[in-house]
Structure 1
Amino acid sequence: MLLRNARLLDGRIVDVFIDHGRIVTLSTPSTPPTLSSDVGPGEGPEEVDVEGRWVMPGLWDSHVHFGQWAQLSRRVDLSGARSAAEAASIVRERLAAHPPEPGTVLLGQGFRDGLWPDQPTPELLEFGDVAVALVSGDVHCMWTNRAALRALGLPEDAWLLREQEAFDLNVRLSSIADEQLDAWVVEAAAAAAARGVVGIVDLEMRDALGSWRRRFGAGFRGLRVRAGVYPGDLDAVAAAGIRTGDVVEHSDGLLVGGPFKLFTDGSLNTRTAWCYDDYPGLGGPDAAGLAIHSAAELLELARAALERGLLPAIHAIGDRATTLALDTFAALGPLPAPGGSIEHAQLIAAADLPRFAQLGVRASVQPEHAMDDRDVADHYWTGRTDRAFAYRALLDAGAELALGSDAPVAPLDPWVTLAAAVTRSRDGREPWHPEQALTIPDALRASWGGVAGVAEGGIADLVVSELDPLTASGEQLREMPVWATMVAGRWTHGR
């Protein structure tokens, strides 16, 4: 294939010659490409004129839960609820307009109760025999009614669950037939490609690798996927002989083994992120958040995975949790490429900023979370938000950044992610801690999945945009029109 009149981000207009999924040459439009020796007389590449549009490496989302993202649009949207009573009202309206099938559980998602003036109660969700289960926006909390508890065989006091109990119930309620889920996944992958996405790190909580092997075996080729592993799947993945970075067969090289996911703490909105300082108004042993594992337990789990060739990706949101995660990497010693990561790193002690680079630990961060959480952070982390979502400070300290969404927590749209990273603003509000903003080139590099740019010999994972991202405004970035997307030399959107 020959992409004619492609405008690179450095301003050059070139023809991009692609063969067998790689960029062979970048030439001036007046210079014909050098073709493979097996191209016969009268034969030649397919030519596509991009007419001066901007061509850049395809975009990655470094942290998604893809199965949950594919199901999100089928659930009641609670993201706009400003109180528990309003959330219940949204559910009531949905029930009136679209009653669920008898014997099913009505699922909703997206509520954020950190600043609500009232509290969730099971009584607010009582709608006769209709079972209702609501997932919080950060996925760390489940709010159900008693009809759901009866239907699910749960005790009466389990109507508000947090952390692992909430994860387990969400996984249970998200369980649908493989054929249906895979169909929704194909739709979600096409939507992601339409936004320039060429690859994801999928940290779905149950059998992500097995699910993607099934999809690629059935012919899926819409994205590159690095499929993560959780402790419950460790033995099965190890028995299959798949390590982090290994290419999985029957995927044309698009599916590889991903990292090993571990947790240190919870989340900010659920007030379970583990911090050095107590949360205002909370008391008791968990007033500063929740430590999921002791230091010894976390290190033992990480070592067990490392012995099987799986590199850790450690969830840490509070500053004390981030310290624990860095201490774990220090105890593990140097890791082989691509190294380990800390997922989220939302609040960081100043002394820990240089440790990311010193230990070779990547900061996998989600800039749109800063926009979602700025008010709750100002309330619960008051006086500390100068080191919250501190992307500029991390980069200046030498850390490698990888940008993502944590979908379904935030939209799987890399342009939304880029806009949040660059502007620290949304909905016309003043920028929040603009000193922590990234430049557009820095944010793009953190979104390209380890690629530095469009170069000869590189993999032909490309996105073609209608606007120059280097000069686009924040709103233009959020709405960036994508003309086409390509994975390994094959169009996944546009053509």
Structure 2
Amino acid sequence: MTALLIRNARLWSAGFLAGDAVAIRDGRIAAIGDAAEISIRGADELDARGGLVTPGFVDAHLHLGIAAVDAVRCDVTGMAGITDVAARVREFAAASEAAWVVGGGWEPTLFPPSGPTASALDALVPDRPAFLLNVDHHGAWVNSAALRLAGIDATTPDPADGRIERLPDGTPSGMLHEGAAQLVARILPPPDLAALAGALARRSADLHAVGITGWQEAALGEYGGLPDFTAAYHRALGAGALRGRATGAIWVPRDLDEDGIDAFVAHCVQRREDNRAAGFPTGTAKLMLDGIVESRTAAVLAPYLDGGEGLSYFSPSIVERLIPALNAARIAVHVHAIGDRATRIALDGFARAAEPDRARVRNHIAHLQLIDPADIPRFSALGVTANVQPFWACETALMREQTLPALGRERVSRMYAFAALRDAGAALAMGSDWPVSSLDPWQGIAVGVTRRPAGEPDATPLGPAQALPLAVALEAYTRGSAVLLGLEGGGELRVGSPADLAIADRDPFGVPVEELAGTRNAATVLAGEIVFGG
């Protein structure tokens, strides 16, 4: 029997609670109130030092599997210059005897809009094929050996769901966008399962460090140079090495056609049952409808300023059959939609599902960079949760250099319409898309509240009318995401609920919003056990 008393706290759960203490016994909340009035025999004590105690954060869209893969490959995430990237790749290649050099995490802003070149990577890895995904994993930098092995040359057409960047003579340049990366990814050697499971467990400590106790692995399936992480999750969970309320979304393969829908739905149902038995709920399918603005692969209603309307990876007719079939089988749908056309296609698909079927699942659309104003009320009407990534909702160098020239100021000014969604009655959940962006919920919340880059109080806010109140953002990152993922306790502090808590180093409601980004997670409690800090 274990017991813990958290005292000297500001208690918050969709609003402030009376008292300054939480008592925990055997992994569940036993009492909430004043420390002087709570008695729990043999309890360890944790002093919150006046910090805010909230339900544990729940990240509704992250890629722990990608972080784990990066950890066992050539990881260049966060490197600030081309020289640093080159040094890391050269060093990794020299130390590795593997047949391929595989990795990623490079920032697109380090290179021209057309991306890096095969010749530049040839200079770093001249003796074998190399494949390096960018930080958002929507494109790959490959060398000449990789292009040759994949049979990609000037005569190779662009796939329907991607683009091969080319030199003036039509020769592939070495940059592959979206589905074009799969032309090389399909011949990559698979990662070692034991190493990947170990990396999953190790990287999960990063989640605990920022107060995350539950999450959704946003894509379980082979795509874009990444493996299916399901077996690694099973191994890590089975060994007791992976701690947290993990859920997952089963990848919808890009080559799915209307004739294959019934078989795919049956596949999802079987995987749901198999994964449930392994302690890994996966009652959700991940439907990626478009790409990203910067590569002109996000599906937009009005053309980009330099032409084209982006890519839609599935036809509306497939979406309007697939979503109802999944919902009828009690499989929720988690949609990736960046452009406003992709969002509309998704909402049209949800509208085709029978209302009783929609009501039994928790459908959601993630990212939502651009939404047509006419579509905003449809989220509430269709019971579709807006699964937003607030850390992006500010003007960054990437936005100035690549997004703004693609969309123009008017569309950029109305991106990430969080307040409009909330005012229209949409349920909000939040996530990070880590390792694409910061994992820390307080950094994301700070951006969602200020619409400025975290830690830049003097920056011009992006669409300030779309800023959220702190309480709304905090509720979305706790209760909103927990309800969306179906986690026990619903992301609330109440007697009898699982004792999953995050303890901040301050009361962020007591500081100016300009200082909100300075908030840090001081301790994390998972099932009554202190897994970080304390």
**What is the CA-CA distance between 1:353 and the residue it aligns to?**
0.8
Matches for 1:81-480 after TM superposition, within 5 Å: 87=82, 89-100=83-94, 101-102=96-97, 103-112=99-108, 116=112, 119-127=115-123, 128-150=126-148, 152-156=149-153, 159-166=174-181, 169=184, 173=188, 175-206=190-221, 207-231=228-252, 235-240=266-271, 242=273, 248-249=276-277, 251=279, 255-282=280-307, 287-334=308-355, 335-371=358-394, 372=396, 373-375=398-400, 376-382=402-408, 383-426=410-453, 428=456, 429-448=459-478, 449-450=482-483, 451=490, 453-472=492-511, 476-480=515-519
Amino acid at match of 1:5: N
Q: What is the distance in 2 between the residues matched to 1:180 and 1:22?
A: 33
Q: Note the alpha carbon deviations across 1:160-219, whole angstroms, 9 max, x for none.
A: 332234257558658311111122111211111011111111113424444323221111
Match of 1:274, as an amino acid? Answer: A
SS for the counterpart of 2:50 is coil
Alpha carbons 1:365, 1:401 under 8 Å: kept? yes
CA contact (8 A) 1:58 1:463 kept: yes
Q: 2:8 aligns with which of 5, 9, 18?
A: 5
Per-residue deviation, 1:149? 2.8
| One-letter code aligned to 1:380 | A
When the two structures are superposed, what TM-score results if normalisation uses the length of structure 1?
0.86
Counterpart residue type for residue 262 of structure 1: L
1:209·1:229 contact (CA, 8 Å) conserved in 2?
A: no
Superimposed CA distance per residue, residues 142-170 of structure 1 (whole angstroms, 9 cap, x where no aligned partner)? 121112234x5443356433223425755
| 3-state SS of 2:273 partner | coil
Q: Per-residue deviation at 1:399?
A: 0.9
Q: Does structure 1 retain, via aligned residues, the 8 Å contact 2:114–2:175?
A: no
Once the two structures are TM-superposed, the CA of residue 235 in structure 1 deviates from its matched residue by: 4.6
SS in 1 for 2:530: strand
Answer whether contact 1:146 1:156 (CA < 8 A) is retained.
Answer: no
SS in 1 for 2:36: coil
- The one-letter code sitting in structure 2 at the alignment partner of 1:126 is D
Alignment of 1:37-116 (within 5 A): 44-72=42-70, 74-77=73-76, 87=82, 89-100=83-94, 101-102=96-97, 103-112=99-108, 116=112
2 CA distance for matches of 1:220 and 1:80? 30
Structure 1 residues 184 and 221: alpha-carbon distance in aligned structure 2, compared to 1, 3 A threshold? closer
**2:219, 2:286 within 8 Å by CA — same for their partners in 1?**
no
Contact 1:68 1:174 in 2 (8 A): no
TM-score between both structures, scaled by the size of structure 2: 0.80
2:35 aligned residue = 29
Aligned partner of residue 187 in structure 1, secondary structure: helix
Structure 1 runs (4+) greater than 6 angstroms displaced: none
Deviations 1:236-293 (A, max 9, x none): 44225539xxx93454xxx3224211122111122111111111223xxxx1101111
1:359 to partner: Cα distance = 0.8
Name the CA distance, whole Å, in 1 between partners of 2:183 and 2:229: 15
Q: Distance in 1 between matches of 2:284 and 2:218?
A: 8
**1-side partners of 2:320 and 2:310: how far apart?**
20
Q: Is the 8 A contact 1:465 1:482 kept in 2?
A: yes
Query: C-alpha distance in 2, partners of 1:167/1:367?
Result: 29
What is the DSSP-based 3-state SS (H/G/I as helix, E as strand, rest coil) of the residue aligned with 1:274? coil
CA distance, structure 1, for counterparts of residue 265 and residue 74 of structure 2: 30
Task: Give me the identity figure in percent.
Answer: 32
Partner secondary structure for residue 120 of structure 2: helix
Q: What are the ranges of 5 or more consecutive residues in structure 2 without an aligned counterpart?
A: 155-163, 165-173, 222-227, 254-263, 484-489
Aligned residues: 471
Once residues 185 and 512 of structure 2 are traced to their aligned partners in structure 1, the CA distance between those partners, rounded to angstroms, is 38
Structure 1 gaps, min length 5: 36-42
Cα deviation code 1:439-472 (max 9, x no counterpart):
1111100100234642223321101111112234
Q: Counterparts of 2:84 and 2:392 in 1: how far apart (Å)?
A: 24
User: What is the CA distance between 1:29 and its match in structure 2?
Assistant: 2.0
SS of the residue 2:420 aligns to: helix
CA RMSD of aligned residues (A): 2.8
More displaced, 12-21 or 268-277? 12-21
